[in-house]
C-alpha cells in the first residue's frame, strides 16, 4: 500500500496501536502453565473489544486469532493446548484489520528463568530491527534494510532466516514489496514516500531456513537452534519512518 492522505495515515495508526497494545498485553500474561490457546483467547478478546478483526483468520483462514510459536517453532504457530514452560522462548505475532486497514507486529518473549544465550539473541534481533528502521526514508535503497539486518546479525555471530521476508501491508495482510533480510546486490528498488510495509528480522544461533511442519502452518528450525523475531509496521516519509506499531 502507498498512502497519500492524512485520513489513511490515521486509519493505519489506529489499527497499529490496537495490535501493539494486544501484543504487549499478551506478552504480559505469559507465565508457566498457561496454554497457547488461552493466550490466544486473551488476544482475540482484546481485538474484538477494539472493533478489530484477526488478519490471519480473515485473510488466510488461520486457525487462531494470533500466531504463537514456542522454541523451535519460529512462526505461524497454531494456538493449542500446549502449556508454556519456564525457560521457553515464545514468539507472538499479532495482525488485524480495522476500517479496511491492516497492521502487523510481533515480538519474542522469554519466560524466566532465562539464559544469556536467549537474552543476547533477543537483544541483537531488536537491534537489527531498530537499526533497519533507521535506514528507511524516501529515496533510500530498499536493500539497505536487508544489508543492515545481515550486518547486525553477523557482527554478533548470528544467522538470518533467509526465507522469511518483510512485506508490504496496509490494504491487505501481505502485499508487495517483498523485502529479504539480507543484502541482494541485484535489487535496485528504492523506497518512496507513503509506502507501507513491515520489517521483521528473524535471527538465529545457526539456522538459515524455516521448514514447514506437518500441520500445514507452523514454521520450524532444528531444535538445537534458538531463533527470535521482532516486527513493526511502518510508513516511509522523506525524513524517515513513521512506526505504526510502536
- The CB-based long-range contact list for 40-49 (8 Å cut-off, 24+ gap) reads 40/64, 40/65, 40/66, 40/68, 40/79, 41/65, 41/79, 43/92, 43/94, 46/18, 46/21, 46/22, 47/18, 47/19, 47/22, 47/94, 47/96
CATH code of 6-243, in short, is 3.90.230.10
Under 8 Å between Cβ of 119 and 168: no
Helices (H), ranges, the chain: 6-28, 36-49, 55-60, 116-134, 143-155
Under 8 Å between Cβ of 172 and 96: no
Report d(CA 29, CA 34) in Å as an integer: 8
**pLDDT at residue 109, as a whole number:** 98
pLDDT tens, position by position, 180-225: 999 999 999 999 999 999 999 999 999 999 999 999 999 999 999 9
**pLDDT at residue 162, as a whole number:** 98
pLDDT tens, position by position, 64-81: 999 999 999 999 999 999
**pLDDT band, very low/low/confident/very high, at 125 (cuts 50, 70, 90):** very high
C-alpha cell at 54: 484477526
**pLDDT at residue 67, as a whole number:** 98
Report d(CA 110, CA 85) in Å as an integer: 10
pLDDT mean across residues, the chain: 98
**pLDDT at residue 168, as a whole number:** 98
- β-pair type (202-204, 196-199): unpaired
DSSP state of 79: P
Report d(CA 122, CA 73) in Å as an integer: 16
Q: Which residue ranges make up each domain of the chain?
A: 6-243
Selection from 197, 205, 231 nearest residue 128 by Cα: 231
Selection from 49, 43, 84 nearest residue 64 by Cα: 43
pLDDT tens, position by position, 15-65: 999 999 999 999 999 999 999 999 999 999 999 999 999 999 999 999 999
Nearest 5°: the CA angle 93, 66, 127 is 5
**pLDDT at residue 156, as a whole number:** 97
Beta bridge partners of 211: 220
Amino acid at each position: 500500500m502507498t498512502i497519500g492522505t492524512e485520513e489513511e495515515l490515521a486509519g493505519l495508526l489506529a489499527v497499529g496501536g490496537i495490535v501493539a497494545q494486544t501484543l504487549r498485553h499478551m506478552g504480559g500474561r505469559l507465565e508457566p502453565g498457561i496454554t497457547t490457546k488461552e493466550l490466544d483467547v486473551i488476544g482475540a478478546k482484546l481485538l474484538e473489544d477494539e472493533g478489530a478483526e484477526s488478519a490471519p483468520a480473515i485473510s488466510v483462514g488461520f486457525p487462531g486469532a494470533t500466531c504463537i510459536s514456542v522454541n523451535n517453532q519460529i512462526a505461524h504457530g497454531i494456538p493449542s493446548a500446549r502449556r508454556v514452560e519456564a525457560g521457553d522462548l515464545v514468539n507472538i505475532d499479532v495482525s488485524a484489520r480495522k476500517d479496511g486497514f491492516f497492521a502487523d507486529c510481533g515480538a519474542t518473549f522469554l519466560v524466566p528463568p532465562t539464559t544469556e544465550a536467549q537474552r543476547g539473541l533477543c537483544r541483537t534481533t531488536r537491534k537489527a530491527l531498530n537499526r533497519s528502521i533507521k535506514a528507511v526514508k524516501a529515496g533510500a535503497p530498499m536493500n539497505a534494510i536487508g544489508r543492515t539486518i545481515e550486518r547486525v546479525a553477523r557482527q554478533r555471530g548470528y544467522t538470518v532466516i533467509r526465507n522469511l521476508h518483510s512485506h508490504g501491508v496496509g490494504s491487505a495482510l501481505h502485499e508487495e514489496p517483498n523485502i529479504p533480510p539480507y543484502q541482494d546486490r541485484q535489487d535496485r528498488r528504492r523506497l518512496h514516500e507513503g509506502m507501507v510495509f513491515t520489517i521483521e528480522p528473524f535471527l538465529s544461533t545457526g539456522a538459515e531456513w524455516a521448514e514447514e511442519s506437518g500441520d500445514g502452518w507452523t514454521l520450524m528450525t532444528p531444535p538445537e537452534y534458538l531463533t527470535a523475531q521482532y516486527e513493526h509496521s511502518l510508513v516511509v516519509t522523506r525524513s524517515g519512518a513513521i512506526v505504526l506499531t510502536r
